[in-house]
Structure 1
Amino acid sequence: MGPRKENHRYLEQHQQLSVPDPRFPIARKEGAVPKDQAPVPRGADRHTQQVLSMLSALQQNFSSLLQVVTNRLSYDKTKEAAFNRLYQEMEELKQDQELNQLRPLYIDLILLIDRMNNIYNDKLEAGNQNPELVSILQTLSHEVLEILYRRGVELIVAPGSKFDPKIQQVVEVIPTNNPAEDNQVVHMVRHGFRYKDVVLRPEEVVIKKYQP
């Protein structure tokens, strides 16, 4: 047999040895794992646990911070309400002290207006109405009213013709047999004055009273 035939036989044998028979699968080594089922490295598992632990800690810190903010907002609202009440009470106390100190002065000025009105009415009833005297009395009365007004003292103006016990005082009663005229104001005797919401002197009036 020549060299050519020997080479050919060798190639055929080599090709037969290198091609496995599909009827007999190649045995795998013990403990071998397929590539698509490779286990997760231990380092990656530890890293995942660290990330989860960090996220849990952040969540707890955020919850604590949220509670602190909520408590602070509630505290600020309570503090603001307390300060508002305190300021209101201090303002009311200040007004009360101011009124207590200045009430005698206000009453004296109100009485001065009454005296000027009485002089004017007396002169008018006597028929001795002096135009110059009337002008002086009106000017003085307006000036005193302006002084009181600048200090918060105003004339009481009744909203209707019915008697209002909150701002009026009855000094005379006229009987009437008409029920519709009961408690109707007939005449104003003296002006009333108030300092803001405090009545310094009620308006003195004459009213009708129903008597069947």
Structure 2
Amino acid sequence: MADDNPDYPVDQILTEVRELRAAFDAKIRYDEGREHTVATMAEELDRHRHGAFQAQLRTVLVDLITLYDDLSQMISAPGYPPETADRLLVVRDTVTYVLARQGAEIAISENDSVDRVQHKVVAIVKTHDEGADRRIAERLRPGFRWNDRVLRPEWVNAYRYESPPPQTHPVPEQPHAAESETVLVDSNLLESRSGGVAGEERLDA
């Protein structure tokens, strides 16, 4: 327009340039905002996919741990031929290898103190030893960790302190109790007899 009309005011040209620049800046900001929104949505989608995959993988790992426990019980059970036990041991080692490939490893606590996060107490063993309170009495199944978290706590039996019952002193026997009772009975008999004689004497009187 400015080329067609030589009298076109310079201020109008500057105004149009400013408007074009403002529109251009707004378009850039819009594109940047849209790119940021798209990137954010992509990240959220990736996190959702990763979380869903992790949840599905966790279910599979827990099932493999159950298989590991079943194989361990069968291996330790009496009555299996050595050849069968060896084959079951190979299968259990394979399960352990598959778990390790997915980041799940056996975790057994080094100390004997019961930890609510690392241990699952299956049974309580009563003890009068106060120093053994809340300590592991028996380890039943190993624990497993996955992604630096407890996937399955270690199964244990734990001691629980109970104060010993109060000591009761036996009551001493009284060997003369029967004799005393006999004497009393005899004295009653004598009194009754003497009373009867006196009565007869009074009746005779």
Q: TM-score range by the shorter chain?
A: 0.5 to 0.7
CA contact (8 A) 2:71 2:88 kept: no
TM-score, normalization: structure 1? 0.53
Could you tell me how far 1:57 is from its partner in structure 2? Answer: 1.5
TM-score, normalization: structure 2? 0.54
Whether 1:65 aligns to 2:65 is no
Could you tell me how far 1:203 is from its partner in structure 2? Answer: 0.9
- In the alignment, which residue of structure 1 is the partner of 2:140? 189
Cα distance in 1 for partners of 2:141, 2:85 equals 19
Whether 1:92 aligns to 2:51 is yes
Whether 1:108 aligns to 2:108 is no
For the structure 1 residues 96 and 198, does the alpha-carbon distance in structure 2 shift closer, same or farther, using more than 3 Å as the test?
A: farther
TM-align CA RMSD: 3.9
Ranges in structure 2 where 5+ consecutive residues have no aligned partner: 1-5, 164-205
Superposed counterparts of 1:61-210, under 5 Å: 61-100=20-59, 103-116=62-75, 118-119=76-77, 141-158=92-109, 161-174=112-125, 175=127, 176-178=129-131, 183-194=134-145, 196=147, 197=149, 199=151, 201-209=152-160
Could you tell me how far 1:96 is from its partner in structure 2? Answer: 2.9
Aligned length: 153
CA contact (8 A) 2:139 2:156 kept: yes
Amino acid at match of 1:52: D
Amino acid at match of 2:55: D
For the structure 1 residues 101 and 208, does the alpha-carbon distance in structure 2 shift closer, same or farther, using more than 3 Å as the test?
A: closer
CA contact (8 A) 2:106 2:142 kept: yes
Q: Which has the larger radius of gyration?
A: 1
Shifted more, 94-103 versus 57-66: the winner is: 94-103
Could you tell me how far 1:54 is from its partner in structure 2? Answer: 1.6
Cα distance in 2 for partners of 1:50, 1:165 equals 83
Could you tell me how far 1:143 is from its partner in structure 2? Answer: 3.9
Could you tell me how far 1:64 is from its partner in structure 2? Answer: 2.0
Ranges in structure 1 where 5+ consecutive residues have no aligned partner: 1-45, 124-129
For the structure 1 residues 55 and 160, does the alpha-carbon distance in structure 2 shift closer, same or farther, using more than 3 Å as the test?
A: farther
SS at match of 1:169: strand
Cα distance in 2 for partners of 1:68, 1:89 equals 31
| Identity across matched positions, percent | 20
